[in-house]
Every structure is written in C-alpha cells, then in structure tokens.
Amino acid sequence: MKKVTAFIGNHQKHSTYKAVCEFERNLKAYGNIEFEIVFLKDYQLEYCRGCKVCFEKGEEYCPLHDDRDILMEKMIQSDGVIFATPNYAFHVSAPMKNLLDRLAFTFHRPRFFGKTFTAIVNQGIFGGNAIVKYLSSMGGNFGFRVSKGCVLTTLEPRSEAAQNKITREIKKASARFYKDLMRAAPPVPSFFRLMTFRMSRTSIQLMLDDKSKDYRYYKENGWFESGYYYPVSLGLVKKMAGRIFDGMGKRMVKRS
C-alpha cells in the first residue's frame, strides 16, 4: 500500500479537482493506493513575513502559528505527493505559492527523500509548461524524486477531441507517477543536483557553525562526509565531478 496526497491550489471543484480525481482513479487501477485530496483553502496558512528565522534558527521558531506543520506532516506521511494548480497569470495559484514560500526552509534542509512528486497544471491557453517546470524544480529542491508532470488545457466549452487529449495526458502522467512511486532505490542525482549538494555543504561547513540550523542539520545527517544526501552509487565520473564541485565551493567561499 502506498499513500499519495494531492494538494490542490484553487478554491473550486473545477477542472483541476477533476483531473486529480481522474489521476486517483488511474492510480487505484494500477495498484493498492490510499489517496487523500487536500484543498489548501481549507487550511490556515499565513503569508511569510520574510524574517528568515526558519532559515537561520529553525522552522520551529517561525512566528506564524498556523497549519503549516499539519500540511508538512501530510507530506511526511505520504509516499507520493502531487501539487495541482491552475495557471493564474502564468504562475501557480496564490495558495500554492504561499505553501511553497512557507516551506522554503526545506530547500536549505531537504527531507523528502525516497518519496515521489509530480505536478498537474490546468491552463486556459498558455504558460502551463513553465509552471510544471517550476514546480518540478521545487519538488527536487524539497528532496523528492520528480516524476514528469502534465499540463492540461481545459478551456470550456470543450470538444470531444480536447477532452480525449486531457484524458490521455492524465493517463500518461499517472502511469509515469505510479512507476516512479514503485521504484525501490532513490535516483542517482543529476550533475546539477550533485553540484547543488556539494557546493552548499562546502559553504555551510566553511562559513557556518553549530549556532546555525543548517550546519547542525548537515552534521546530524552526516552530510559533511557523504557523497550525496543519501547513499547512492555515484559512479566514477560523478565521483570526480563531486570533487570538482567541492573545490568550486571552496573557491567560492574564499572569494566571498
């Protein structure tokens, strides 16, 4: 049994909600899935005030006391997470962006390793691909394995051909997501992800100390010594690239 949670960024049970329900039906046809739909509108989530306390001292010191941790706990308890949002003014909806802002400390201290993420974006006409790309990058920053998402053009009234295209896209995306959800081993990082890890940890190690939450988090996780966030066989080329990224990180710190 795998648990999947879909976070929906708009208020109405319109095409985004319907797409998520279709995704759920497909997943349940593939295997044993427990599926939860979370409408962000049903949770109290204040706007980030930009104090950066979460980055520096820790998320537990955030001055906002709302449902942030309930939402994060839902992610922690899931094997798979879906972010579903309409395209509003060429971006994610405001509640979805607010969630990302409030969880931005996770980019410093990623934690969702071994879990799968995907994005579903509904659009009227144009701009959805850039939003899927953006959300996929956020999912990667959180630590998820990212499964390629989908963009659905959901203008109404809709022809039968347009509806069939939507159904096909959801089917393909849910099949990809299910396959990724069932993978046992976490992915080998791309060069970009490896570089991000190695350069961040070098600068954290050289510039910060025990007073910093990031420093303690890296230390507790053994990340100052490891090749990547989690045990993975990097292969010769990536091992060498990792050393080069370490050196680049050191030079960057010296220059700063």
Ligand X SMILES: Cc1cc2nc3c(=O)[nH]c(=O)nc-3n(C[C@H](O)[C@H](O)[C@H](O)COP(=O)(O)O)c2cc1C
Q: Which residues here bind ligand X, judged by CB under 6 A? A: 10, 12, 14-16, 86-90, 122-127, 154
C-beta of 165: minimal distance to ligand X in Å? Answer: 14
Q: What is the DSSP letter of 227?
A: S
Q: Helix or strand or coil: residue 214?
A: helix
Measure the CA–CA gap between 174 and 149, rounded to whole angstroms. 9
Measure the CA–CA gap between 114 and 119, rounded to whole angstroms. 17
The residue behind tokens 């990058």 is: 137
The residue behind tokens 């329900």 is: 21
Structure token pair of residue 29: 């046809």
Structure token pair of residue 127: 């701009």
Any alpha helices (H) in 63-188, and if so which ranges? 68-76, 94-102, 105-108, 128-142, 160-182
Q: Helix or strand or coil: residue 124?
A: coil
Q: What is the DSSP letter of 159?
A: -
C-beta of 170: minimal distance to ligand X in Å? Answer: 13
C-beta of 107: minimal distance to ligand X in Å? Answer: 25
C-beta of 164: minimal distance to ligand X in Å? Answer: 17
Of 16 and 196, CB closest to ligand X: 16
C-beta of 190: minimal distance to ligand X in Å? Answer: 29
- Report the chain's terminal Cα–Cα distance, integer Å: 49
Of 100 and 131, CB closest to ligand X: 131
Of 84 and 181, CB closest to ligand X: 84
Of 14 and 219, CB closest to ligand X: 14
Q: What is the DSSP letter of 197?
A: H
C-beta of 121: minimal distance to ligand X in Å? Answer: 8
Of 7 and 223, CB closest to ligand X: 7
| Of 138, 75, 137, residue with least CA distance to 101 | 138
Of 91 and 216, CB closest to ligand X: 91
